[in-house]
Amino acid sequence: MMTVLYIVLGIIGLLILLVLTAVVRTLVTPAKTSAWQPKSDPAREAEYAEKLAEMVRFETVSYKGQIRRERFLEFHKILERLFPLVHANLEKTEIDGSLLYYWKGKRSDKPVVLMGHQDVVPAEGTWKHGHFSGDIAEGKVWGRGSADTKCSVMAFFQAVEELLKEGFVPEQDVYLSAANDEEVAGEGCPKLVAELKKRGVKPFLVNDEGGSIVTEPMAGIKGNFAMIGVLEKGQGNLKIIARSGGGHSSYPPKNSPIVRLSKFVTELSKHNPMKSSMNKQAKEMFGAMAPYGPFWMRLLFGNLWLFRPLLEVLMPSISPQAAALLRTTIAPTMQTGSDGYNVLPQEATLILNLRYIPHQNMDESNEIIRRIAAKYDLEVEQIDAHAAYDPVDAHSEAFKLVESVIEEVFPGLPVIPYVMTGGTDARHYQQICDACLRFSPVVYGPEQMKGMHGLNENIDTFSLPGAVDYYKAIMRKI
């Protein structure tokens, strides 16, 4: 008995020593603050805001299964008028409304691709300014697409326009890529990538949307941070099917299709089957942000060598965003049943949208869903899916290049490698490029984050000069 007591006391003593060590390390490590604040440049803001506003006013909604090429060809005429030097000097390729521009550099061994997308999601509800008004008011450009992502498309076109006016010739080949169906995960970007594969192009760097300059990226983290997406989760849609012989609702059986689907969803909700784990990219992200937080955050996230197992258990219960960083997520999104109020369905279905984390990728996650579905006599049909791709090394040459550009254009802005929970077209470029970084050089504060795919989408005009300068610096440094 005494031996057991000594062992317990020893373990307690060791834990106390480890916690004290972590506390001391935190106390002696200087806290940091994000010093960068956006600066106003009224003349440039006005010029760029007008161009962006005109792009926003032309509705370019994409719909699943519709190419709408003629609509986008009309939009291209606006681009030709706004950026005449780009269209006079770069080689343009149009594929079903998607665009690829080639700017020949002095060399072709490390080409760069700057990309965004032309299309936007539908706009519904009552807005402060019209859905596609392009109003310039309150220091912002308003309308669907202003932030996602016509602002970055405008910025890299404008950057090339200004460099051409200076007589600049890039050291390396430059490509501008803008698909017309990113929002519906269409075939636009894959077709552009196929074209580059046909030409034998292997980009050194692809710079797409995804991360941005985010204001207060986590509760307790004050200031602005350049969040660079280095890992994009995979995505899949599974149809869960419950079958029966149907029947009249006046004598329902115990396990009708909707009941079985309900039990299935309840189990997933109450007992999430996916493993929470802090991968390398998440550790780098939290470790980089920790010095900017309050003491408790610096203690926990600055000493992941000790607190990582605890955080892996606690974080998923703290917030959905935290859970999404650590595990494959499961979201029920659509459901069907009977067409009649008093008719039991012969078939009821449920759609699950999964976002796959690398440590429990597509095949393993889908198999877990199949095993649980089988308990309730449910079938699983995979509608579509793609696994998470390999992450970008935050210590790679390409990442360091982007980091140096951010320091040059936005001095004092901290750079944080970021785990993306959403999806981008950049994943298609990972077939031909090892460094697909997700970063739009514009400021997304709480208002912009709320408006993304929601009401009152807008972008601050003070973001626009810095975005143009960022893309110019990329092309100069490459």
pLDDT of residue 18: 82
Question: Would you tell me which CATH number, out of the four given (3.90.1170.50, 3.30.70.360, 3.40.50.800, 3.40.50.11720), belongs to the domain 234-386?
Answer: 3.30.70.360
d(CA 62, CA 87): 24
Which residue's structure tokens are 């009152």? 456
Q: How many CB atoms lie within 10 A of CB 38?
A: 19
Tokens describing residue 473 = 């610096």
What percent of the chain shows pLDDT beyond 70?
99
Domain layout of the chain by residue ranges:
42-232+389-477, 234-386
348 confidence band (pLDDT: 50, 70, 90): very high
Higher pLDDT, 319 or 447: 447
Q: Could you tell me the CA-to-CA distances from 349 to 111, 173, 336, 381 in Å, in that order?
A: 47, 49, 5, 10
Q: b/e per residue, 60-83, with b = 16+ CB within 10 A? A: bbbeeeebbeebbeebbeebeebb
- Provide the terminal-to-terminal Cα distance of the chain, rounded to the nearest Å: 69
3-state SS, residue 1: coil
User: Is-contact 35 316, C-beta < 8 A?
Assistant: no
**Residue 9 pLDDT > 70:** no
pLDDT in tens, 166-181: 999 999 999 999 999 9
Residue 13's pLDDT is what? Answer: 77
Q: What is the pLDDT of residues 147-160, one digit of tens each?
A: 999 999 999 999 99
Q: Write down the pLDDT at residue 6.
A: 66
pLDDT tops 90 at residue 11:
no
Q: For domain 42-232+389-477, is the CATH number 3.40.605.10?
A: no
Give the 3-state secondary structure of residue 37. coil
Average pLDDT, the chain: 94
Q: Work out the pLDDT band at 467, boundaries 50, 70, 90.
A: very high
Q: What token pair was written down for 397?
A: 């040459």
